[in-house]
Copies of this chain bind each other. A is one copy, B any other.
Amino acid sequence: MHKLVLLPDWLRRYQRRWISGDLTAGLIVTVMLIPQSLAYAMLAGLPPQVGLYASVLPLVAYAMFGTSMTLAVGPVAVASLMTASALAPLATAGTAEYIALAVLLALLSGLMLFAAGLLRMGFLAYFLSHPVISGFISGSAVLIAIGQLKSLLGVPLPSGSIVDTLAALLASIDRINPVTAMIGGAAIAFLLFARRRLAPLLETLGLPSKQAQMMSRLAPMAAVIAATVAVAQTGVDRTAGVSVVGAVPSGLPALGLPSLGWSQLNGLWLPALLISLVGFVESVSVAQSLALKRGERIRPDRELLGIGAANIASAVSGGYPVTGGFARSVVNFSAGAHTPAAGVVSAMLMTIVIAGMTGWFESLPHTVLAATIIVAVTALIDIDTLRQAWRYDKADALSLLLTFGGVLLLGVEEGILLGVALSLAVLVWRSSHPHMAVVGRVPGTEHFRNIDRQQVETLPGLIALRIDESLYFANAHMLEEKVESLLASHPETRGILLIMSAVNQLDATALGALTDLEKDLASRNICLQFSEVKGPVLDRLRPTPLGQRMKDRIFLSTHQAFLAFAGTDSPPNEPTRDTRWISTP
């Protein structure tokens, strides 16, 4: 059973000296979280307060159930994009119905994750290959950046395929709002400068390296404050048509569960499943890479509960799907967070913001939010993995590129489904062509090697075939074909020895194929033998009809099988036993 006690492990063993690190980290993450939660809500097609709501209770819920000491949960770019893409066909962005569906999506996603956690399905964290994840994230980043151009430039663009969006942008380039574009451009320039140059600059000014890095992470907040003040002072929102956030309702949301209709479930279950899968895979990979640096351990089964609880908490408090974010988690880690108490600190600070400070965002221009999103997601575009995969393994590189293309051209859900299908297809295709080698004895030893690679001795009439892969439904037939083609070229064969040293699994389909093969060979007076069958495989093989029929033909070692075929079970040092062996050229 999972320990579902109210007091989490980290709280029971909390040490006083951790307080300062957790407080600092909680504060810094909050300063990052405010602009991000507003921006990602905009990306998801939701009003700003929904992003703020998703940044309170989920952090506390994760602290209760999760196992990462440093994962920062909340609204993230990719899940926001997936939310927008899931809800677009169902309702108009920004309407009450749209918000209700977003809340429902968080609830469904949370219930799925929590249930998977109770069923201990943490292995799902490794269901996607690394290249597929990389292609998916890069594709989503490009999609997000292009989608933000309309807010950045203050020009209405259709939300559809990226080709449509870019074509519409070219067609309406004269309708760009110049003041909006100027503010957005300045924000991008500042944010890029902050990311690349600010930390070194601060270091030359005498700040320690770690603090300098941390300061540079606060640039988005600085941009938000500067732009808000500038717009409020100049009034360009009224005079020049610069779109601003406007009035944000203050006060905490009423807690409550959304009502669940079957008709809505129909359109939401698949997006909820995909958001859960992607969010979970991402969270675990971020949490794990941070945990490794400190020798901590992540338990994927418990992470399902943690992220599931965070999403349920988000739904209960009027928020939308959340997951562990990469950038905020890294900052949380470097700022010295020791425990999820840092997240609880953030949640408390966010509560204060929501309760009394939402008026401050009234003059915040949308273009600055778009700028923070665009700069944030460009960091997600990952060329390195493609370059490495291309060099190491073309099939992996191809699935990366196809997933990337799928996200851009077909859409975000289709892209991830394509990625899952590709991961699995590559896996099946690879093991559907198992390596097999005919072997012979290295003279003077009991070792057996590939007859094509070494000078070895064989017994006339016996073919010894080493199978270098587990046998299962997708490759069992290849064994049959290999044996047939060997028999066609060696018509004098009276015995086939299958060396099973690399067969770790043998499924029911493969068992059936071996059973058929044995019968077929027996009807042609050819004797089938096995050697070096692994313990677990042998345990399951023995009670089957095939195991029963072959029980005197399964040998511990290949050498014993050769001796048995030669008809001499004389002790290994008897010289006579070797008279029948012949050498390969």
Binding site for B on A (CB under 8 A): 123, 125-131, 288, 292, 297, 385, 388-389, 391-393, 396-397, 423-424, 426-435, 468-470, 472-477, 484, 501-502, 504-505, 507-509, 511-512, 516, 520, 534, 536, 540, 543-544
Quick check: A504 and B502 within 8 Å, CB to CB? yes
Quick check: A427 and B428 within 8 Å, CB to CB? yes
A424-B428, A507-B396 given; A126·B543 CB < 8 A: no
- Give the copy number: 2
A195 to B550, CA, bound (A): 35
Question: Which residues of chain B come closer than 8 Å to A128, judged between CB atoms?
Answer: 473
Residue of B nearest to A475 (CB): B126
Quick check: B473 and A129 within 8 Å, CB to CB? yes
A393 to B125, CA, bound (A): 25
Distance in Å: Cβ of A213 to nearest Cβ of chain B = 20
Question: Which residues of chain B come closer than 8 Å to A388, judged between CB atoms?
Answer: 508, 512, 544
Q: Is the interface of A mostly helix, strand, loop or mixed?
A: helix
- Determine which residue in A130, A435, A507 has the highest number of CB atoms from chain B within 10 A of its CB, and name it: A507
Q: Could you pull out 17 A-B pairs where Cβ atoms are within 8 angstroms?
A: A123-B429, A123-B433, A130-B509, A292-B516, A297-B484, A388-B512, A392-B508, A392-B511, A393-B507, A393-B540, A396-B507, A397-B508, A431-B504, A468-B534, A470-B470, A501-B502, A502-B502
Question: Which residues of chain B come closer than 8 Å to A505, judged between CB atoms?
Answer: 430-431
A25 to B288, CA, bound (A): 65
A508's partner among B389, B429, B430, B432 (CB-CB below 8 A) is: B389
A509's partner among B131, B433, B469, B534 (CB-CB below 8 A) is: B131
Question: Which residues of chain B come closer than 8 Å to A520, judged between CB atoms?
Answer: 292
A123 to B540, CA, bound (A): 27
Residue of B nearest to A292 (CB): B520
A504's partner among B427, B468, B516 (CB-CB below 8 A) is: B468
Question: Which residues of chain B come closer than 8 Å to A127, judged between CB atoms?
Answer: 428, 474
A476 to B396, CA, bound (A): 15
Quick check: B469 and A504 within 8 Å, CB to CB? yes
Question: Which residues of chain B come closer than 8 Å to A472, judged between CB atoms?
Answer: 129, 427
Question: Which residues of chain B come closer than 8 Å to A536, judged between CB atoms?
Answer: 435
Among all A-B residue pairs, the 10 with the closest Cβ atoms:
A129-B473, A130-B509, A396-B508, A389-B508, A424-B424, A123-B432, A126-B474, A393-B508, A129-B509, A502-B502
Question: Which residues of chain B come closer than 8 Å to A292, judged between CB atoms?
Answer: 516, 520
Distance in Å: Cβ of A273 to nearest Cβ of chain B = 12
Residue of B nearest to A517 (CB): B292
